[in-house]
Amino acid sequence: MKFFQRLVKPKENIETKISDFESVASFWKFITQKDKWYLEYLPQQFDDLKSKLQELAPLIIETTNDLRYNLNFKNDDYWRIIQWDNLIFDLKLEDKLKQYCSNCKNEIRLLQRHPKLICKDCKNNLTSSDGRKVEFFNSEALGYGCQGYYSETNQIERYDYDECYIDSKIFVAKEGRFGGIIIELKE
């Protein structure tokens, strides 16, 4: 599913064409030369992008997979990266887009709303700040958030925080938009 189909106005003063470059690869090398290249460029800025998309696709896939592996972007900026990924959806190649657990880096299902999730195994290793295992459940009614408990207390001993830890990393638990519990790396 494609999210964040925001209408984006291209920057008026950019008239870069992919065909002005020696090759699609050299175009891609040029626009991704900065770490946060996606803050500067969106696909809508390039008139002839659609005609070069087949050639561009593997480069986009490699680059955004790498961003998701290293997680060196802010959640608030992720929609810009998604604009590039959505081109891959257009080609029905979305299976090639990868997402990784923000703790152990195992591959998990791509979820565009939440690029910094942890995997099921890591969910079992969440602790309080003093090292006791904790777990989270949905509050009784949808829309009322989630509640933490110390593990193996039969949901009796409450853990009244949404932050939790694995080693020195901090994670945040919240209710998923459609229910369930989302655990993400804290920014």
**Residue 166 lies near Zn ion (rule: CB under 5 A):** no
Considering only 56, 61, 110, 122, the residue that binds Zn ion (CB under 5 A) is 122
CA dihedral in degrees (116, 117, 121, 126; nearest 10)? 90
Shortest approach of Zn ion to residue 185 CB, angstroms?
11
Shortest approach of Zn ion to residue 96 CB, angstroms?
21
**Residue 119 lies near Zn ion (rule: CB under 5 A):** yes
Cβ neighbours of 96 (radius 10 Å): 15
Q: Do residues 127 and 118 touch, judged by C-beta distance below 8 A?
A: no
Sheet holding 134-138, edge to edge: 134-138, 146-150, 158-159
Shortest approach of Zn ion to residue 104 CB, angstroms?
3
**Residue 183 lies near Zn ion (rule: CB under 5 A):** no
Residue among 16 and 151 whose Cβ is closer to Zn ion: 151
Shortest approach of Zn ion to residue 110 CB, angstroms?
15
Residue among 44 and 124 whose Cβ is closer to Zn ion: 124
**Residue 39 lies near Zn ion (rule: CB under 5 A):** no
Residue among 103 and 112 whose Cβ is closer to Zn ion: 103
Residues that bind Zn ion (CB under 5 A): 101, 103-104, 119, 122
